[in-house]
Homo-oligomer: A and B are copies of this chain.
Amino acid sequence: MEQHPNREDDTKTRLLMAAGEVFAERGYRSATVREICRRADANIGAINYHFRDKKGLYRKVLEYSLRLAIKKYPPDMNLKKGTGPEEKLRAFIRSFLLRMMADGLPAWHGKLMAQEIANPTSLIKQVIKRSIRPLNDYLEKTVCELMEKEGIHKKPGDYEPFVCAMSIIGQCIHYFKGRPMIQALCPEGFDDSDIDMLTDHITNFSIGGIRAVTGKKRSPKIS
């Protein structure tokens, strides 16, 4: 039935792939080992043999997905050095959206993270430390660069860059998790091909937001 978990691969790999798919689209709790095994065309027992239990499988999926993600989406987003912060922000948002919305092999990295954020499991700590924190640091750094252009000097970890980063992430995640509601609210529009328009909107909106946040603080410093 499924394509990606190629029958050529060994059972362990097929399980890993199928599990990645299912965990990504259903989340840890709602995913069932039986569906994973069905998609992997493997036996229920195999999961116990190769990964001990469901959580062991999930742990391996996270590790594998993380390793792939680092390769495919390095923190600097493969942008040439010296690109302006606006373009860095746009690239960040676009890749963040793509990672969550896209289908296919590298799709589940973002979805897994989004699921963890919305419904944390006991592995949330690890996910944050190794996946979310680096992304967030990069985003905060970019935000700081944008603030710098407004004449405000902030460093990652300060209050303003942090909440701005949260506002940006929040928008992106909302467009993923809130898709059913958005479809219902606005039935005519928003197929998956609109990621570019979405990227434009969130980028513009956020740049304006950052500008406004720094603007509030600037007044005492200008004069």
Q: Which residues of A contact B (CB under 8 A)?
A: 29-30, 116-120, 124-125, 128, 132-133, 136, 159, 162-164, 166-167, 169-175, 177-178, 180-182, 184-186, 189, 198, 201-202, 204-213, 215-216
Contact = CB atoms under 8 A, between A and B. Distances in A.
24 contacts: A118-B119, A120-B181, A124-B184, A132-B181, A133-B185, A159-B189, A163-B198, A166-B171, A166-B178, A167-B174, A167-B202, A169-B178, A170-B172, A170-B173, A171-B174, A177-B177, A205-B206, A205-B210, A205-B212, A205-B213, A208-B210, A209-B209, A209-B212, A211-B212
Identical subunits present? 2
A164 B212 contact: no
B204 A118 contact: no
Of listed A162, A163, A210, residue having the most chain B CB within 10 A: A163
A78 to B, nearest CB: 25
A124 B180 contact: yes
A208 B212 contact: yes
Contact of A178 (B29, B118, B198, B205): B118
A181 B125 contact: no
Nearest to A203: B212
Contact of A213 (B119, B174, B198, B208): B208
A6 to B, nearest CB: 32
Contacts of A189: 159
Nearest to A164: B205
Of listed A30, A132, A136, A201, residue having the most chain B CB within 10 A: A201
A26 to B, nearest CB: 11
Nearest to A157: B186
A166 B184 contact: no
A124 to B, nearest CB: 6
A212 B118 CA distance: 29
A178 B208 contact: no
Given A174-B169, A212-B205, A212-B208, A124 B181 contact: yes
